[in-house]
Amino acid sequence: MVIQQVGIEEAVHEALKTMHELDREEVAMFIIDPLVLYILGATSKRCLTVAEMVPVVNLPIATCYKLVYQMEGHGLLASCGTQRTGRGRATAYTSVLKEMSLDMRNCVMHISVTWKNGVTEEFRREMGAQVPREAPSSTTLSCPVSEMDVDQALGSD
């Protein structure tokens, strides 16, 4: 399969324009979905059809098609064009994501994304308001996780 690099760059540019027309919060929430990250990772280096993505991301083909359609709508995937397959023609896709880092500090998620056009953006998401708990009646502090939960998690008897 031969895909023109200029066409891919134009497609990535158009996808990024689509993404920037959407709500940043919506894009940030969508981009941290583990399944979306699998597809972005699989398509970051080369263009793949959905059929080629399926074994890489280990998803059912219907789920993969649905996510690819949503990701294209969010501007996270760009169409590289179509290619001939054994069953006809299929669209190949590439990620618009070049690199991403995620950092959690004080219940706030910080995401730094560099797109394939070289632009870096920062997203910030608070993970929920802290609910003040009532002070315990004794001098010991209560813990939301019991020792039995910790033992089970660590595999202790």
> pTM of whole model > 0.75?
no
Alpha helices in 74-127 (DSSP H): none
* CATH architecture for residues 5-126: Orthogonal Bundle (1.10)
Q: Which residue has the tokens 């969010």?
A: 74
pLDDT digits (tens, 9 = 90+) for 80-130: 888 777 777 889 999 988 888 888 888 888 888 888 888 898 888 777 655
Cα–Cα distance, 148 to 23 (Å, whole number): 43
Q: Which three-class secondary structure state does DSSP give residue 128? A: coil
pLDDT > 90: percent of the chain: 17
Cα–Cα distance, 119 to 63 (Å, whole number): 30
